[in-house]
Amino acid sequence: MTKKLKTGVIGLGRIGQIHLSNLVHHMPDAEVIIASDLSPASHAFAQNLGVANVTTDAYDVINHPDVEAVIICSPTPFHVPYTVAAANQKKHIFCEKPLDVTLDAIQAAEKAVSENGVKLMVGFNRRFDNNFANVRNIVKADKIGDPHILRITSRDPAPPPVEYLKISGGIFLDMSIHDFDMARFIVGSEVKEVFVKGDALIHPEIKEFGDIDTAVIVLTFENGAIGVIDNSRKAVYGYDQRLEIFGSKGMAKAENNVADTLQHYDNQGGHSALPLHFFLERYETAYRVCLKSFIDCVKNDTPSPVDAHDGLMATAIGIAAMKSLTEGRSVKMEEVLQYAAV
């Protein structure tokens, strides 16, 4: 039997637990050697899954001599420091999004990864959602021709608490960043300009610290396509994740996944199910496929499906979006990227 990839997991919060479970139950090509979390309370979760070696120190994972790859699920400010340290230890890295909220930090991570010849994959799991992956396949197969218009609808079922929003980094880096990555993925071209119109229509009080909860974002791509993303922090009918790409030969769209296919008709009309509640339900399989593609790229020594450049561009679009909102004008990506040696 082929040797299993030895991994260590850093961070056992909500996402860390998902990745750890998937590694144990669904990745026959990988095993988990060690896991870390600042809070000892979360250690029992790993031990119940058979991971005996748990620690409060992330560097115990990074420096463990048997660990070949680290799965970084810590809070965002630690993503780059852990990535750099792991790269210097010649460990491959799977890191949750966003890599960082500044371009400088991301470039430091990119440099460490490059210099040490290790692989880095950013956890943009939605690319691995069945629906969206198939839309991308349709585009790659030239079935829609030249892309002209991209539409992404991405609405959460309910906003996080205002206390969280204060430290979230803002809607663009906390929420829309997934859509920025999806836009680049589907269209297959770089964004060159960003315009935002947004407002705090759900929680007006978050305007005080410069955030919004409703946004329409126009992206112009280098290949000529024009994209539009609409975001809301609160869709009372559930998690709304749809997209559509229109081009010279046709159109492809992906609808929501729903809880069941039941249709009930009475004298009031037809009634059908809500979308799956939130990202844990909607992207359950995508998390698994995403992580598996990391294990595969390390084992087969193939390029990372979502690399540091992808992580950098998503953050850069987020920064441009914030600049557009603040300055009330369309912002060219070169304004954001000019000081970064992209």
Query: Which spans of this chain sit near its own copies (rule: CB under 8 A)?
Result: 25, 130-131, 134-135, 138, 143-144, 146, 148-149, 151, 153, 155, 193, 195, 197-199, 201-202, 214-216, 218, 220, 224, 226-228, 230, 232, 234-237, 240, 246, 248-257, 259-274, 328-330
Identify which of residues 107 and 257 has a Cβ nearer to its own copies in the complex. 257
Tell me whether residue 38 or residue 235 sits nearer to its own copies (CB atom).
235
Q: Cα separation of 190 and 313, whole Å? A: 8
User: Whole-number minimum distance, CB 228 to its own copies, in Å?
Assistant: 5
CB–CB of 121/97 below 8 Å? no
Q: Which amino acid is at 314?
A: A
Candidates 112, 109, 108; CA nearest to 96 is 109
250: left (phi over 0), alpha (psi -120 to 50) or beta: left
314/103 Cα distance (integer angstroms): 10
Q: Considering the complex, what minimum distance in angstroms separates the CB of residue 25 from its own copies?
A: 5
CB of 233 to its own copies, least distance (A): 10
**Residue number, 6 or 234, with CB nearest to its own copies:** 234
Residue 6 or 309 with smaller CB distance to its own copies: 6
**Residue 100 Cβ, how far from its own copies at the closest point, in Å?**
29
Q: How far is the CB of 118 from its own copies (least distance, A)?
A: 30
Minimal CA–CA distance to 177: which of 275, 79, 288, 302? 79
Distance CA 127, CA 292 (A): 13
Distance in Å, CB of 215 to its own copies, minimum: 8
CB of 234 to its own copies, least distance (A): 8
User: Please, which residue, 71 or 243, has the CB nearer to its own copies?
Assistant: 243
Nearer to its own copies, 43 or 234 (CB): 234
Contacts of 300 (CB under 8 A, 6+ apart): none
Distance in Å, CB of 120 to its own copies, minimum: 29
Which is nearer to its own copies, 42 or 257 (by Cβ)?
A: 257
CA distance 272 to 217: 30
Helix, strand or coil for residue 236? coil
Structure tokens at 100: 């960082």
DSSP string, 91-157: -EEEEPSPS-SSHHHHHHHHHHHHHHT--EEE--GGGGSHHHHHHHHHHHTTSS-SEEEEEEEEE-S
CB of 108 or CB of 228, closer to its own copies: 228
Q: Which is nearer to its own copies, 14 or 143 (CB)?
A: 143
Identify residue 158 by its one-letter amino acid code. Answer: A
Please give the DSSP secondary-structure letter assigned to residue 275.
B
Least gap, CB of 114 to its own copies (angstroms) = 35
| 205 Cβ contact list (under 8 Å, min separation 6) | 162
Is residue 63 classed exposed, middle or buried when 0-12, 13-18 and 19+ CB atoms within 10 A define those classes?
middle
C-alpha to C-alpha distance for 60 and 326, rounded to whole angstroms: 42
